[in-house]
Structure 1
């Protein structure tokens, strides 16, 4: 999950820098200047957009949560052993990241279950 957040942040920064360069040179940024959106806007020309499926996205998110929890556990154990590389601030930040990621995953699960129940209760 941390990798996906970092990826999104880096894309946003790249888009901001592209817009900043275009405004400094006097060029007007076009709506299709962002390459990531071009495939979404023109699916018939691009064919498959190359975006991961819902299953892959969900699997990657769950793996990210698992990795965050494992990293948090490793840092906690290192702090308990007195390892100088594991200070309290890093341990607490990793613990909070794992906790937030887990809560977000639980919320997504709850909403998916609710959506499934709503679909199953629809009259035919």
Structure 2
């Protein structure tokens, strides 16, 4: 019975991670071809009624998602510390690791953006 519950919990965690990773996917309704080279004569046109999020909006969503994951991790850790019987130490560790991975990913994206900005600024005109 315990193995069955562990498998169920693992499946729930995997589904949760999948849904979180889909937050960084292209907006629905756009094919990979539309996102890769929009407007470069590839025959794919975006309909005017479709709103494509700007780079700033996507970055804001990503930062907010990282913030939400960190808040959730903190809340789970606090509940465990207060003795909530429904929270296992494994839940705390998983939430902590998810928070850490999300933050490290955001940090690496920021570093790459800064590096790209510096490369562009150093290009001869």
TM-score, structure 2 normalization: 0.67
Which has a greater percent of helix? Answer: 1
SS at match of 1:43: coil
Distance in 1 between the 2:74 and 2:22 partners? 21
Structure 2, unaligned runs of 5 or more: 1-16, 35-42
Distance in 1 between the 2:52 and 2:30 partners? 10
The match for 1:37 among 25, 31, 34 is 31
CA offsets 1:96-117 (integer angstroms, 9 cap, x no match): 1110000000000000000010
- Does structure 2 retain, via aligned residues, the 8 Å contact 1:68–1:98? yes
Aligned residue for 1:70? 71
RMSD: 2.7
Moved segments of 4+, more than 6 Å = none
1:18-33 equivalences under 5 Å are none
Structure 1, unaligned runs of 5 or more: 10-34
TM-score, structure 1 normalization: 0.67
